[in-house]
Amino acid sequence: MHIIVDDLTHPAIHALLEEHLADMRATSPPESVHALDLTGLRHPSITFISAWEQGSLQRTLQGTLLGCIAIKLLDAQQAEIKSMRTPKAARGKGTAKQLLKHLIAFAEQRGIRTLYLETGSMAFFEPARQLYLSHGFEFCGPFADYTDDPNSCFMTRTL
């Protein structure tokens, strides 16, 4: 698996993000969908990271995308995890764990002291919540511009 900082230009990334947004819209009310589209992920405060199958580092049209994750700087020492996703066809390969570990190391190298994330409170999001809990995240209250929302769970980890 190759994990790289991605420029969001590959068609497989576009398709994965559309799948992600479609699932978020299908499982959460509109006011509780906080997933970003391509334009939102291109903001200068965000670094987008993708994972590709071994041998597809060149990201040719035949390369296999295994997943993505992004980090949004909130300030010099705090950041938010955004857009964690693996395609349905690539699940069960440990990609999410590897992406999360990579992102945590990436954040530490940049002096980030606290990571936050928002995820859904519904059963659909239980695997994500369990992944985050298994990597040292704890539940917390809303952060940044978020407000209390029964459809959201907020989590944090001190680095």
* Residue 72: partners with Cβ closer than 8 Å, 6 or more residues away: 43, 45, 46, 79, 80, 81, 82
Whether residue 20 contacts residue 40, with contact meaning beta carbons closer than 8 Å, is answered with no
Q: Report the residue count for the chain.
A: 159
* pLDDT tens by residue, 9-32: 999 999 999 989 888 888 888 888
- What interhelical angle do 95-109 and 126-134 show, nearest 10? 50
* pLDDT tens by residue, 119-141: 999 999 999 999 999 999 999 99
Whether residue 129 contacts residue 153, with contact meaning beta carbons closer than 8 Å, is answered with yes
Whether residue 98 contacts residue 51, with contact meaning beta carbons closer than 8 Å, is answered with yes
Whether residue 138 contacts residue 157, with contact meaning beta carbons closer than 8 Å, is answered with yes
* pLDDT tens by residue, 38-65: 999 999 999 999 999 876 555 554 568 9
* Residue 24: partners with Cβ closer than 8 Å, 6 or more residues away: 33, 34, 35, 120
- Reported pTM: 0.90
